Amino acid sequence: MEGTCPLALLAAGTEAKVTDVRAGRGMQARLLGMGFCPDARVTVQCADRGSIIVSVGDARYALSRGIAMKIFVGIAKGSA
């Protein structure tokens, strides 16, 4: 691990591990239910728009950058 940063800042193709989710009432529960829990492995699939597409396991989610700023991740060593 090389420290944490918001998921929104990762480039497409980056793999990372969720460290913390702080999204506020309601949205927090939704994200946890979707699988964005600490230690979940996520990969940014698409990052060239206002929203990003992230994979968690075999699921793919579109998240606005605002929400992706509230999911903190640690970047695994070796990946871009």
Interface positions with other proteins (CB under 8 A): 20-22, 24-35, 37-41, 45-46, 48-51, 53, 55-64, 66-67
Alpha-carbon distances of 33 from 21, 26, 36, 52, 64, rounded to whole Å: 12, 11, 7, 19, 17
- DSSP assignment letter at 1: -
Q: How far apart are CA 43 and CA 16, in angstroms?
A: 6
Give min distance, CB of 7 to other proteins, in A: 12
Pick the closer one to other proteins by CB: 2 or 39: 39
Report the nearest approach of other proteins to the CB of residue 32 (Å): 4
**Shortest Å distance, C-beta 23 to other proteins:** 8
Closest by Cα among 79, 78, 80, 1 to 39: 1
